[in-house]
A and B are shown apart, each in its own frame.
Chain A
Amino acid sequence: MIKKMTCISCPLGCQLEVEVGENIKVSGNKCKRGEEYAKNEITNPKRIITSTVKVEGGDKPLVSVKTDREIPKDMIFEIMKEINKIKAVAPIQIGDVIIENVLGTGANVVATAKINGA
């Protein structure tokens, strides 16, 4: 079976053709990430999540966050629940860990913006 997909690893958006059989064969990719992306999409699709977390004692009400590595796509909404539960305390630097190893995925939720104390 041949599956067509768009690689989302970068804004180029390569159009991939993926041969799914005993081995997964990928063509149409301009770099290595395309092959990895296609294999993951077939076996275990993954995504980075970005969102915001409530801030206490900061000069802004929210801090933007991301998972520092990809998490399984089917866990997006469960992880969003964790992100919505937590509060971060200012001051916050870019890269500060807000949630460690979120739901055992091995990914940390980290701050992507700098927040000063109020």
Chain B
Amino acid sequence: MKRDLVVIGGGPAGLAAAIEAKKNGIDDILILERDKRLGGILQQCIHNGFGLHIFKEQLTGPEYAQRFIDEVEKLGIEYKLDTMVLHLSENKHITALNPKDGIIEIDAKAVILAMGCRERTRGALNIPGSRPAGVFTAGAAQRFVNMEGYMVGKKVVILGSGDIGLIMARRMTLEGAEVKMVVELMPYSTGLKRNIVQCLEDFDIPLLFNHTVTRIHGRERLEGVTIAKVDENRRPIEGTEQYIECDTLLLSVGLIPENELSREANINLNSVTSGAYVNELMETSVDGIFACGNVVHVHDLVDYVTEESFLAGYGAAKYIKGEYIKNEKGFFTKTGFGIRYVVPNRINPQNVKDKVNFYMRVNDVYHNVDLVVRDGDKIIYKVRRNHVSPGEMESVKLSKDVLREVKSCELVFALEEVAK
């Protein structure tokens, strides 16, 4: 079949992108979702704290998702559930599979990638020892507890202080488990500060920085883990080992964008974010293929995913309607001191609606710095930050008028020491 726009993924990113494309005049849209319902991972994030930015109120994950699902239904946007995209080609040919239609072949005018991300696993960490039951990624445990209603263990150690791990520490505690500790390799948390307060401190769960799990014990079910302190090179220090009895180890050691389809379509990926390089309208390096949300870079707030996805939907609509200006005008974004990455990567101000939100992460914890954007020698934006951390995404808004005035071919985002 032929479609104007196919959105791969029916989570927060895909839903917002489809809605915005529809509002910008595209009627022939199809969302392909691999799960049995729309909403993505938000459906298992039953805690609150979503939506303050977009809706000015605190919502739980399912409530946030439902607002977009209702909108998709109201606008009459078509979607297929239980549908997995198997292949995507550079010329926007999609092969998908579901139990009802079998194999589906689609030629799309434009595609929006919104597949989200996956969790890093024990394999990525290389913890030695046996492979007993009782080792879960935090997200898999969250699905069991919140969606299926099963407990994954009684005595829990959590490796990694990512947000899902922190949220699961509280969730497991509320459901009667004993969460013994959260162990973090780095000297800082990769999760939000508020989650450390309301998920750990509220329940007196210790958080050990500069520590890691060095061994897994138990043959059938997990019986315990060995933890140890690490040095500045993140290597375990001999003699600091401690045995902790537990039947469950949850891994919350980071998320990686799911870009297998992007690779197949020959989209250029950024090795820092593991997501696609994108431009001012969230278009990837392949003509007519757009991307948004956690498939581009891992966000800590869904509100930012929504903002970014509205832009991708707007961009795809412009592309389909032939209103998208393609020329070599514009500039690249580049990272300077202290900044690990910035998205988007290329800006042609001619296509910018009114502003661009630049999202970035710092590479370490810094205090009292200026976040500065430079066009050559000229500072075009500067903001004082008392505290920045790799766990908390920074954003900078620049208006179309400001972007039009950029003279050099690179806009540099960097941290600078505050001039005394």
Q: Do A and B come from one complex?
A: yes
Question: A77 → chain B, closest Cβ, in Å?
Answer: 8
What residues of B have a CB within 8 angstroms of the CB of A66 in the complex?
A: 46, 48, 60
Is A11 interfacial (CB-CB < 8 Å)? yes
> Contact at B46–A6, with CB atoms within 8 Å?
no
Chain A residues touching B, range: 20 to 34
What residues of A have a CB within 8 angstroms of the CB of B146 in the complex?
A: 52, 62, 64
> Contact at B62–A13, with CB atoms within 8 Å?
no
Bound: A50/B300 CA distance, A: 20
What residues of A have a CB within 8 angstroms of the CB of B60 in the complex?
A: 50, 64, 66, 112
> Contact at A52–B66, with CB atoms within 8 Å?
no
Bound: A54/B198 CA distance, A: 25
Known: A11-B194, A50-B47. Contact between A64 and B301, CB under 8 A? no
- Scan B60-77; emit 1 where CB is below 8 A from any A CB, else 0: 101100100000000000
> Contact at B194–A6, with CB atoms within 8 Å?
yes
Is B187 interfacial (CB-CB < 8 Å)? no
Bound: A78/B262 CA distance, A: 49
What residues of A have a CB within 8 angstroms of the CB of B386 in the complex?
A: 15
Question: A6 → chain B, closest Cβ, in Å?
Answer: 5
Name the residue on B nearest A48 (C-beta): B48
> Contact at B197–A6, with CB atoms within 8 Å?
yes
Question: Could you say which of B46, B194, B196, B392 contacts A51, with CB atoms under 8 Å apart?
Answer: B46
Is B322 interfacial (CB-CB < 8 Å)? no
> Contact at A13–B192, with CB atoms within 8 Å?
yes
- Scan B199-221; emit 1 where CB is below 8 A from any A CB, else 0: 00010000000000000000000
> Contact at B46–A112, with CB atoms within 8 Å?
yes
Question: B371 → chain A, closest Cβ, in Å?
Answer: 15
What residues of B have a CB within 8 angstroms of the CB of A6 in the complex?
A: 193-194, 196-197
Bound: A77/B204 CA distance, A: 14
Is B43 interfacial (CB-CB < 8 Å)? yes
Is B148 interfacial (CB-CB < 8 Å)? yes
Is B52 interfacial (CB-CB < 8 Å)? yes
Is A73 interfacial (CB-CB < 8 Å)? yes
> Contact at A94–B46, with CB atoms within 8 Å?
no
Known: A47-B198, A73-B202. Contact between A54 and B46, CB under 8 A? no
> Contact at A15–B197, with CB atoms within 8 Å?
no
In the complex, which residues 59-118 of chain A have their Cβ closer than 8 Å to any Cβ of chain B?
Answer: 60-62, 64, 66, 73, 76-77, 80, 94, 112-114
In the complex, which residues 30-74 of chain A have their Cβ closer than 8 Å to any Cβ of chain B?
Answer: 47-52, 54, 60-62, 64, 66, 73
Name the residue on B nearest A64 (C-beta): B46
Is B123 interfacial (CB-CB < 8 Å)? no
Question: Could you say which of B63, B149, B193, B301 contacts A54, with CB atoms under 8 Å apart?
Answer: B149
Name the residue on B nearest A73 (C-beta): B202
Known: A50-B48, A62-B149, A64-B46. Contact between A113 and B62, CB under 8 A? yes
> Contact at A11–B300, with CB atoms within 8 Å?
yes
Name the residue on A nearest B39 (C-beta): A113
Bound: A52/B60 CA distance, A: 12
Question: A17 → chain B, closest Cβ, in Å?
Answer: 12
Bound: A15/B62 CA distance, A: 29
Is B397 interfacial (CB-CB < 8 Å)? no
Question: Could you say which of A15, A50, A61, A113 contacts B387, with CB atoms under 8 Å apart?
Answer: A15
> Contact at B174–A76, with CB atoms within 8 Å?
yes
Name the residue on A nearest B393 (C-beta): A11
Question: B298 → chain A, closest Cβ, in Å?
Answer: 15
Question: B17 → chain A, closest Cβ, in Å?
Answer: 22
Is A20 interfacial (CB-CB < 8 Å)? no
What residues of B have a CB within 8 angstroms of the CB of A24 in the complex?
A: none
> Contact at A50–B192, with CB atoms within 8 Å?
no
Bound: A89/B197 CA distance, A: 35
Among B59, B194, B197, the most chain A Cβ lie within 10 Å of the Cβ of: B194
What residues of A have a CB within 8 angstroms of the CB of B192 in the complex?
A: 11, 13
Question: A71 → chain B, closest Cβ, in Å?
Answer: 13
Is A7 interfacial (CB-CB < 8 Å)? yes
- Scan B171-189; emit 1 where CB is below 8 A from any A CB, else 0: 0001100000000000000
> Contact at B66–A114, with CB atoms within 8 Å?
yes
Is A1 interfacial (CB-CB < 8 Å)? no
> Contact at B149–A94, with CB atoms within 8 Å?
no
Is B147 interfacial (CB-CB < 8 Å)? yes
| Chain A contact residues, CB within 8 Å of chain B | 5-8, 10-11, 13, 15, 47-52, 54, 60-62, 64, 66, 73, 76-77, 80, 94, 112-114
A-B CB contact pairs (8 Å), 5 listed: A50-B48, A51-B175, A80-B175, A112-B59, A113-B66
Question: Which 9 pairs, one residue from A and one from B, show the smallest C-beta to C-beta distance?
Answer: A13-B193, A64-B46, A113-B62, A8-B194, A112-B60, A13-B194, A62-B149, A6-B193, A10-B52
Give 16 A-B pairs besides A49-B174, A62-B149, A80-B174 with Cβ atoms closer than 8 angstroms. Answer: A11-B192, A11-B300, A50-B46, A50-B47, A50-B60, A52-B149, A54-B149, A60-B147, A66-B46, A66-B60, A76-B174, A94-B63, A94-B66, A112-B63, A113-B46, A113-B66
